[in-house]
């Protein structure tokens, strides 16, 4: 690492990287979502076919990934705001990042059934 690098592979760097990656993934989802929603005006039959593909278990896993990205991005965004606008924020950024990860994991565990329940029932029966 060059001299003067702030994060040096610690929590701050990983939260920065994860924030950018989740932001790009969310942007990609929104771009695809706008395109497939616009398809209803072009060809309602093709739109119905596209929507039918979204009801597969693989897409349910992708939806779970989307939930993970949105939750992490939102929670980490609150951490970034605290670091930027709270005078003691930089001093506690490591603890805040760990809190973000813990809250994120708890929310992800809590959302397993609601997001993946349909995929489980399709694959293994109800």
Q: Is residue 4 part of a domain?
A: no
Residue 48 Cα distances to 30, 54, 107, angstroms: 19, 10, 32
Query: How many structural domains does the chain have?
Result: 1
At 58, which CATH number? 1.20.1300.10
The answer as to whether 117 is a domain residue is yes
pLDDT, tens digit only, all 126 positions of the chain: 455 555 566 777 888 899 999 999 999 999 999 999 999 999 999 999 999 998 888 888 999 999 999 999 999 999 999 988 989 888 888 899 999 999 999 999 999 988 888 888 877 876
Residue 108: give the domain boundaries. Answer: 11-122
5 within some domain:
no
- Token pair 């809590």 in the structure block, residue: 110
């Amino acid at each position: 690492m060059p001299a003067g690098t702030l994060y040096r592979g610690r929590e701050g760097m990983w939260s920065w990287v994860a924030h950018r990656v989740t932001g790009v993934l969310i942007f990609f989802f929104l771009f695809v979502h706008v395109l497939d929603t616009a398809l209803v005006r072009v060809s309602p039959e093709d739109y119905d076919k596209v929507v039918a593909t979204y009801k597969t278990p693989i897409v349910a896993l992708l939806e779970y990934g989307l939930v993970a990205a949105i939750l992490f991005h939102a929670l980490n965004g609150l951490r970034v705001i605290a670091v930027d606008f709270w005078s003691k924020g930089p001093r506690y950024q490591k603890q805040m990042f760990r809190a973000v990860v813990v809250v994120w994991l708890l929310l992800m565990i809590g959302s397993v059934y609601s997001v993946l329940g349909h995929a489980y029932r399709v694959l293994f029966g109800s």
